[in-house]
Each structure stands twice: as structure tokens, then as C-alpha cells.
Amino acid sequence: MKYDQMFRLDGRVAAVVGAGSGIGAAAAAGLAAHGARVVCADVNLERARAQAAEITRAGHAAEAAVVDITNAASVTDLVHAIITRHRSLDVLVTTPSINVRKPIVRYADEEFDRVVGLNLKGSFRIMRAAGAVMAQQGRGSIIVISSIRSQVVEPGQGIYAATKAGVVQIARAMAAELGPQGVRVNAIAPGVVDTPLVQPIKERPEWYQAYAAKSALGRWATAEEMAGPVVFLASDASSFVTGAVLFVDGGWTAVDGRFTPPL
């Protein structure tokens, strides 16, 4: 083992779905900085192109692609294009998800279908497509973004939480099924991450501060702080890690409750 090279990704092709913003953008930049050729894929092609251009300006290899993981044909087209162009797909990171915050008894069927359709079924589609290719290659790393909500919930997040628990179980099952073919599958469970998607929470300071206070570190994470765990799971540094859930939550799931009792 060359310990100084264990995080390097030179010669590997990585696809990041949701690379146009937030955690996906940070993951793409981190993988590229460690030597991977990154395909920045997003439903918004302009955002994907902007992130690929930023990575290229930093001196790394990146390109843009469009994908809609709620559409099976779009997923097939993306994976086919990557294999046709690069002859391999070594890393997949998939990040997209949505949340409709409301009590379960007020959830409409359409809202349920929309959240489950993207978060769970969409993740399944791209993981299935990448997993099939990687199994044929005899190597690969799949990383799906779950959440602390896969383990702990709060009012208004029941359906979102169910999807995040669901992707963990898909990852675990795939790890078991594809391990003999040399494919590793893991999940990352972030805590609260400060991205454009949480702007409604930032507009309510008491809500924003309550979430910050819940973690052991007393703050929100930045999207860039998710890049390190992604690089770890993509690289040989995690060569014996599969079927795992890596919590990157600032201690959220370790801390019991929001009140510090007098000791």
C-alpha cells in the first residue's frame, strides 16, 4: 500500500449526479482535485456546465452532462454516453432529493409520488444502471447521499425520512449483491448542510439556530465539508468499506435532545 497515494483517483472516471449545486458540486470538485475525470451531471445542464467549467479552470478534468433520474431513458442515456466516451465508470455519486414538509395526514398522493419518485426511485434507477456496468468491469464505488433522517425524524419529514432510510437499504443490498464483482456501495448521511435549498430555514433565524445548536459542533456544515467523505469512499482508502452508512452530522445523532441539563 502506497499510503501517500491511497486517496488519489488518477485515471478513474466519476459521475456526480446533482453536480450543479450544493453537495453535488462540492463532491465533483473534490473528486476532480484528487485526479478523477468527473462527469458533472444535472437535470439543469447550464448549472452542470458552469461547475464543469469551474473545475476545468482549477486545472482538473471535467465535463458536463444532462440527466433526469426520474426518467429511465435519461439515466440509460447518461451511463451509455459515459461508457462510450470513457470505456469505464469507476465512481458514482448521486445526490438529488426533494422534501415536502408537512404532516403525513395532510400529504397528498401527488406529493408522496413526487418525493418518493425522485429520492428513492430516482436513486434506485441511477444506482442500478451504474451497478450493472461496474459489475461487468469488476470494480467500482457507488455513493448515495442519505441523511440523518434515515435514523431520526421530526414532524413534517416523515416521507422524506422514509426515502432516506430506503436508499440506505438499497445501498446495503447492492453491497451484498455486487461485492463478489468488486463493487462497493455506501451511503453518506449528512446532518444540516448550508446550501441554497435551505434558504427558507435561513429566513427564520430561530429555526436556523435551533438546528445549529443540535449538533455537537454547534453549527451547520458547509457543502464543501461533504467532499472529504465522498473522496474517502471513492478511493482505495476505503477499499474494505462497503454496505456502510457514514454519518457526517457534526455529532447530531450522538447528542440526545436539544436541552443541556444541569450537571
Catalytic residues: 160
What is d(CA 156, CA 134) in angstroms, rounded to the nearest whole number?
Answer: 37
What is d(CA 123, CA 145) in angstroms, rounded to the nearest whole number?
Answer: 9
- Give the up-direction half-sphere exposure of residue 41: CA atoms within 13 A in the CB hemisphere: 26
User: CB neighbours (10 Å) of residue 5?
Assistant: 12
What is d(CA 254, CA 208) in angstroms, rounded to the nearest whole number?
Answer: 20
What is d(CA 206, CA 193) in angstroms, rounded to the nearest whole number?
Answer: 16
CB-based contacts of 100-108 (< 8 A; 24+ apart in sequence): 100/159, 100/160, 101/156, 101/157, 101/160, 102/156, 103/155, 103/156, 103/158, 104/158, 104/159, 107/158, 107/159
Question: Are the CB atoms for 163 and 94 separated by under 8 Å?
Answer: no
Question: DSSP string spanning 185-252?
Answer: EEEEEE--EESGGGHHHHTSHHHHHHHHHHSTTSSPEEGGGGHHHHHHHHSGGGTT--S-EEEESTTG
The CA-atom distances, in angstroms, between 252 and each of 109, 154, 191, 256 are 31, 13, 7, 8
Backbone angles phi, psi at 23, to 5 degrees: -60, -40
